[in-house]
Structure 1
Amino acid sequence: MITCDFAILPVGAEDTECKKYVTAAVQLIKDSGLNYQLTGMGTQIEAENLKELYDAIANAQEEIFKTGIGRVYTVIKVDDRRDQENRTLDAKVKTVNDMLH
């Protein structure tokens, strides 16, 4: 299981509000069928392989360009773990929560 945290930032927007852009990007991730979690600072997604991961992010980025933005800055963090099965986003969080006192 590959997990990813990413954020797409429109550069040159007329104001500081990003909800229109975030909604457009997250809608494409939702439509991809991949499991995702929206957070206050980005979006986390799970994928079986790098192609479906990068395709989903590329589609989300293209959607931002469709809003009329001329420049997009995307930050991607990928955890491609192949030594264990089913290391989902929820499993990672559960592991740490179980260790908390």
Structure 2
Amino acid sequence: MSVLMELAIFPTDKGGSVGAAVGRVVEMIRDSGVVYQVTAMGTLVETPTLAEALDIVQRAHDVLAGDASRIYATVKLDIRKGDTGRIYGKARSVTDRIGSVNT
């Protein structure tokens, strides 16, 4: 199984710049050992199970909850039996058809 998740999570009560808080979440994701990719609007994560993906969401919340009174999060999931490595394969499917793209 492959679970692709796009997660955007940040405190809403810390002013206009939340890069430090987002950095703490990305650090947790990096240290968890899952395959991930940071984008301008969120972080893509690939896990072998839904439970592991949802655990990342819980852990991201826990990272922020200590000093935030309000947290905003969006989560998108693409769950597929069988294939793994889709975090790179989906983008490669497009570039194989049209050539290089901005990354």
Q: Normalising by structure 1, report the TM-score.
A: 0.90
Structure 1 stretches of 4+ with a deviation exceeding 2 A read: none
Counterpart amino acid of residue 84 in structure 2:
N
RMSD: 1.3
Once the two structures are TM-superposed, the CA of residue 87 in structure 1 deviates from its matched residue by: 4.8
User: Secondary structure of the residue that 2:84 maps to in structure 1?
Assistant: coil
Matches of 1:92 and 1:64, distance apart in 2: 30
Q: How many pairs does the alignment contain?
A: 98
Matches of 1:40 and 1:3, distance apart in 2: 17
Instruction: Give aligned-pair identity as a percent.
Output: 29
Q: Normalising by structure 2, report the TM-score.
A: 0.88
Question: Which segments of 5 or more consecutive residues in structure 2 lack a partner in the other structure?
Answer: none
Deviations 1:3-59 (A, max 9, x none): 01110021211x201111111111111111101001111000000001111111210
Per the alignment, residue 62 of structure 1 pairs with 62
Counterpart amino acid of residue 57 in structure 1:
V
Deviations 1:39-91 (A, max 9, x none): 1110000000011111112101110112x111111100000012x51251100
Question: Which segments of 5 or more consecutive residues in structure 1 lack a partner in the other structure?
Answer: none
